[in-house]
Amino acid sequence: MSFFSVTKLASTLVAPYEPTPSGNLPLSFMDRLPASRFLVDSIHVFRNGQQPAMVIRDALSKALVSYYPVAGRLVMSNQGELEVACTGDGVWFVEASADRSLEDLNHLELPLAVPKEELLPYLSPQVEKDLIVMMQVTQFTCGGFVVGMRSSHAMFDGLGAAQFVQAIADVAKGLAQPMIKPIWCREAIPSPPKLPSLRPPPSLTTHPFVTFLLDISLDHINETKSKFTKKTGKYCSTFDILTAKVWQSRARAISLKPGVDLRLGFAANARHLLHQLLPQEGGYYGNCAYPMTIAAPSEKITDSSLFEVINLIRKAKESLSTKFSKWLMGNPEEDPFKVPVDYGLLCVSDWSRVGFNEVDYGWGQPIHVGPLDDNNFIASSIFLKPPAPKQGVRLITRCVVEEQLRAFQDQMVNLV
């Protein structure tokens, strides 16, 4: 959008407000997985704020006293494993201003109508690979602002990243320290005794995925839950319903040959499975999600009822404890990272409940939050909270190419 301009006014490293411990900290096995070595890009859009860049920058500095590893750098140990050097160097922070109002830009609802590079902080790739967090606060003419965040998946999963952002907000509102005390405790995460053998990275094929957005009302979701319970006598979650619907709709739209496997992948929170190892009071902010995968012949997904597909997802979730335990014990049959990355794979992420939408720096919760995912390698569907006052779930999908979009849309019109 040529008329939209952002001026990046000041860039700096924000270090912890007080001296913090030094030395190197080991990351957990889950943190060190190659699949976690990337930056997660997201925007957090707020309706108004007074000098938000200054407030958030100062709060960030104070929050980093508790979260001092975040102010460090990712390094390789003498054993060739990723770890954190607690250098206190700080978080890269950019203050910026835009020449338009949020209303002019549809409140930056996804998919973005402006280049994401305007709203996110960037450094050279060589520098970025070692940084743990980068933030940009952009003020708009209406008084609203956007926090653009780039965070290392090697440090946080979604729940952990939201906990860190909430800590900044706690301090911004005047608390002396974050309400939730951060716990490092990476050594509590077991490492499988038989690590996966080194395999060459998969050869990835790019696909020109198109973005599709759909808001599903809470009433529609609840109606489907009620019908499912009445028919089966079982409970199903919002995640089960929407994941089944997207998976089946995509399967019918892409029309792979019978017998060809379709795969569904999603991250399942495993914190409750490690409750005897992790602190009972909570506060753990590292990776603790197990990648679940369901595989089925294409005709099983296309020809089944929606409720039958929901049951497939429910059964997979019920198997989490068994699969996770087998993986930790080094069972070679339970390597969740052996999934072929091809057009038959759909990955689902649920951002609607991780905690970003509850963050309040002192001027109210965000209008909306979302990842800026534009990959063309893996078909994806992301669940978000819709902008207030809407209730329900907003779906953002990049899972079909242009010639399949109409068929996909037609399938997604009705949830039942």
In contact, 98 and 139? CB cutoff 8 Å? yes
pLDDT at 196 over 70: no
Residues 243 and 96 in one domain: no
Strands of the sheet containing 24-26, edge to edge, are: 24-26, 82-85, 73-76
pLDDT at 34 over 90: no
Q: Report if residue 195 sits inside a domain.
A: no
> Which of residues 200 and 245 earns the better pLDDT score?
245
Q: How far apart are CA 395 and CA 214, in angstroms?
A: 5
pLDDT at 133 over 80: yes
| Backbone Cα Rg of the chain | 22
**pLDDT tens across 254-263, in order?**
999 999 999 9
58 is a catalytic site residue:
no
Domain total of the chain: 2
Q: What is the pLDDT of residue 327?
A: 84
Nearest to 343, CA basis, from 260, 408, 412, 242: 260
* 395-405 average pLDDT score: 96
* 261-275 average pLDDT score: 93
CATH number for the domain that contains residue 19: 3.30.559.10
* 222-229 average pLDDT score: 96
360 is a catalytic site residue:
yes
The enclosing H or E element of 164 equals helix 158-172
pLDDT at 1 over 90: no
Residues 179 and 275 in one domain: no
Q: What is the pLDDT of residue 280?
A: 81
Domain that holds residue 125: 6-188
Q: What is the pTM of this model?
A: 0.93
Q: Which residues of 283-293 are buried (b: 16+ CB within 10 A; e: fewer)?
A: bbbbbbbbbbb
Residues 24 and 141 in one domain: yes
- Domain boundary among the residues 157, 188, 219 is at 188
- Domain boundary among the residues 188, 219, 246 is at 188
* 387-402 average pLDDT score: 92
Q: Report if residue 196 sits inside a domain.
A: no
Q: Which regions of 121-256 does DSSP assign to beta strands (E)?
A: 133-139, 145-152, 209-217
Contacts 24+ apart (CB under 8 A), 331-339: 332/194, 335/196, 336/290, 336/291, 336/292, 336/293, 337/33, 337/35, 337/196, 337/291, 338/196, 338/199, 339/263, 339/265, 339/291, 339/293
Q: Report if residue 217 sits inside a domain.
A: yes
Q: How far apart are CA 405 and CA 254, in angstroms?
A: 9
In contact, 302 and 261? CB cutoff 8 Å? no
Token couple for 412: 């997604």
Quickly list H helices, 84-147.
125-128
End-to-end CA distance of the chain: 38
Q: Report if residue 404 sits inside a domain.
A: yes
* 18-22 average pLDDT score: 97
Residues 263 and 343 in one domain: yes
Q: Report if residue 53 sits inside a domain.
A: yes
How many angstroms separate the Cα of 199 from the Cα of each of 49, 202, 250, 337, 338? 49, 8, 30, 10, 9
Q: What is the pLDDT of residue 338?
A: 76
- Of 31, 41, 153, 350, the catalytic one is 153
- Lowest mean per-residue pLDDT among 157-166, 272-281, 361-370: 272-281
Residue type at position 49: G
- Domain boundary among the residues 153, 188, 223 is at 188
pLDDT at 168 over 90: yes
Residue 87 pLDDT level (bands cut at 50, 70, 90) = very high
- Residue identified by tokens 């700096």 is 12
Q: How far apart are CA 120 and CA 135, in angstroms?
A: 7
- Lowest mean per-residue pLDDT among 71-85, 184-198, 224-238: 184-198
pLDDT at 128 over 60: yes
Residues 110 and 150 in one domain: yes
Q: Report if residue 201 sits inside a domain.
A: no
Summary mean pLDDT of the chain: 93
Residues 347 and 230 in one domain: yes
Residues 215 and 328 in one domain: yes
* 182-206 average pLDDT score: 76
pLDDT at 265 over 60: yes
How many angstroms separate the Cα of 141 from the Cα of each of 47, 97, 146, 337, 361? 11, 8, 12, 46, 19
**pLDDT tens across 322-336, in order?**
998 888 887 766 777
Residues 113 and 223 in one domain: no
Q: Report if residue 394 sits inside a domain.
A: yes
Q: Report if residue 198 sits inside a domain.
A: no
> How many CA atoms lie within 13 Å of 297's alpha carbon, on the beta-carbon side?
7
Residue 35 pLDDT level (bands cut at 50, 70, 90) = confident
Token couple for 15: 């270090």
Residues 233 and 288 in one domain: yes
Residue 207 pLDDT level (bands cut at 50, 70, 90) = very high
Residues 149 and 246 in one domain: no
Residues 159 and 234 in one domain: no
Q: What is the pLDDT of residue 2?
A: 52
Residues 154 and 244 in one domain: no
Q: Give the three-class secondary structure for 244.
A: helix
